[in-house]
């Protein structure tokens, strides 16, 4: 599966877990061996591979074992991303809309200690 911007967070996390599983198997590592090299528990590796949510720092530790950390530099470049004209159009339409003017004036608030009409 290709990870797309339209993919749900759940499906993206699951896909990352499956890809890391393939990396581990390709490196001929057991879950326990990967866990030891990454400095995390075996249960954490199990959770990653099953598509559970993990902390970013944990992902970084695992990527470092596979020498894939440098790919984050490509995924998240230091220079800001320039929006395409299509992305700009979406941004402009997402601005907050002003409320319609109220048709009836607001009632004044009473704090309870003002003099009331008799």
Note the pLDDT tens digit of each residue in 71-103.
Answer: 888 888 888 777 776 666 665 555 566 666 566
85 within domain boundaries: no
49 in a structural domain: yes
**Do the domain assignments include residue 101?**
no
> Are the beta carbons of 38 and 64 closer than 8 angstroms?
yes
Domain of 13, in residue numbers? 9-78
Residue 52: inside a domain: yes
Half-sphere exposure of 88 (CA within 13 A, CB side): 5
Whether residue 108 is contained in a domain is answered as: no
DSSP the chain: ----TTS-HHHHHHHHHHHHHHHHHHTT--HHHHHHHHTS-HHHHHHHHTT----HHHHHHHHHHTT-TTHHHHHS-SSPPPPPHHHHHHHHHTSPPPPPPPSSPPPPP--S-SPPP-
The structural domain count of the chain equals: 1
Residue 93 lies in a domain: no
103 lies in some domain: no
Q: What is the mean pLDDT of residues 24-52?
A: 96
In a domain, 64, yes or no: yes
For residue 55, the domain's CATH number is 1.10.260.40
Mean local confidence (pLDDT), 52-70: 94
């Amino acid at each position: 599966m290709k990870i797309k911007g339209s993919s749900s967070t759940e499906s993206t996390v699951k896909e990352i877990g499956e890809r890391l599983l393939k990396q581990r198997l390709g490196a001929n590592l057991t879950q326990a061996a990967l866990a030891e090299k990454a400095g995390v528990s075996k249960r954490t590796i199990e959770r990653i591979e099953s598509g559970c949510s993990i902390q970013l720092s944990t992902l970084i530790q695992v990527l470092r074992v596979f020498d894939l950390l440098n790919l984050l530099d490509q995924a998240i470049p230091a220079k800001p991303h320039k929006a395409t004209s299509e992305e700009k159009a979406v941004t402009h339409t997402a601005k907050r809309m002003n409320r319609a003017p109220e048709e009836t004036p607001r009632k004044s608030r009473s704090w309870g200690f003002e003099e009331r009409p008799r």
